[in-house]
Amino acid sequence: MLASARQSLRTPFTRLAFARRLYSTANPPRVLVTGSLGQLGTTMVNTLRAKFGSENVIASDIKKPSIEQRSTGPFVYADVLNYRALEQIVVDYGIDWVVHFSAILSAAGERNPSLGLNVNITGFQNVLDLAKAHNLRLLSPSTMGAFGPTTPKDATPDLTIMRPNTIYGITKVHMELLGEYYQEKFNVDFRSLRYPGIISADSPPGGGTTDYAVDIFHAALKHNSYESFLSADTRLPMAYIDDCIVGTMQLLEAPQEALTQRVYNVHACDFSPQELAGEIRSQHSDAFEIAYRPDFRQAIADTWPRTMADDAARKDWGWNPVFGTADIVRVMLDKLGPVYSTTASPAAAESLAEEMPAAVVAS
C-alpha cells in the first residue's frame, strides 16, 4: 500500500488526478498566496490552481515572476508590509483564503535581524488584521524552529517548552500565539503547521538551516563531493515537498469542527548529514565524499528537535506522509540528474538549477 502510494505521487498525471480528487469542490474559494515565488509558494500555487482553477488563485510576491510563472494565472505585486495595498488586493479579487508564505528564514534572519522582525511580525500582523476585517481563512506556516534549546529533543509534542533563541523562531512563536489569540477573541479562522526541513528539486534553497539537504544533491551530481555546514550527527526532522504540500492542503481545507487545535506538528522522516550521505552513496556513487565544517547554522540546528510527535495532525486532518529518506534521495537524483548530465552545458546546468519551476504535486 505504501509503495503504491509513493509511486502514484511520482507519476505526473496520477499526481494531478490525485490532487483534484482529494481537493474537489463545487464552489472554489478565491485564494491569495503571499511569497508565491519561494520554494513552497510556487508549488502551492500550482496545486491550488489544479484544484480551484487558475483564475481563483492569486499569486503574489515582491519579485518579478518568470514568463512561465506569469502564464499560469494571475500574479500581483504585494508587499506584506503595506496593509492598504494588501487590502486592495483582497477587495479587488474577492479573496476568501490567504496562504501566507512571506517570511525571512532562520539563517537569513540571523544575518539581518531587523529585516526578519519586520517581515515576519509586521507582515503577519497585516494579513491577520485583514483576516479579521474581511472574514478570511488564514493559513500561515510555522516551523520546528519555534522550539528552542530547552525543548525536549525527541518526539517533541505540540505543546511543550518553547524558548527559541533565533529571530526566526521568536517571530514564529509570536505568530502562533497571536493567531490563536485572534481565533479565540475574534473568531478568525487561523491555521498553522510546524514544518520540518523541506526538500525539493524545483527551486533553490531559501536561506534556511536545513538547506544542506538540498545543496548536497546538487554537489553530489556536479562534484561528487559536498562540504556540510552541519556536523555529521546532526539529526533533524525532514519532509519531501510533495508530502508538505499535500499536508498543507489537507489542513487548509479541513472543516473547522475537525480541528482540536490551531497549530500542529508535522513530521515525515529524520536523518543526519552522515546518514543522507550514506544513502546518496548507495544510490548514486560509492565515491561520493562529504566533509564537515560546521558554521553558525550549527548552533541554530542544535536548538531544534530531532523528531516531532504529530499524532494530532494525523488524527484531526489526515496527515500521512509517504516519502522516507531513501525515497527522497531517489526522487532528488532522478529530478536533478538531467540538469548535471554530461550532455548539458555548464551554463544550462546553472540556469536550470536556479530556475526550475516548482510543480511537484500538481504538474
Q: Is 192 in contact with 179 (CB distance < 8 Å)?
A: yes
The residue whose grid cell reads 481563483 is 56
Alpha-carbon distance of 81 to 79, in angstroms, equals 5
Pairing of strands 269-271, 236-240: antiparallel
Alpha-carbon distance of 28 to 162, in angstroms, equals 37
Selected catalytic residue, list 23, 77, 83, 168: 168
User: Can you read off the three cell numbers belonging to residue 187?
Assistant: 473568531
User: Can you read off the three cell numbers belonging to residue 307?
Assistant: 523528531
Amino acid identity for residue 80 in this structure: V
Alpha-carbon distance of 128 to 148, in angstroms, equals 25
Number of residues that make up the chain = 363
Query: 93 an active-site residue?
Result: no
The residue whose grid cell reads 523541506 is 198
Q: Is 194 in contact with 143 (CB distance < 8 Å)?
A: yes
Instruction: State the catalytic residues.
Output: 168
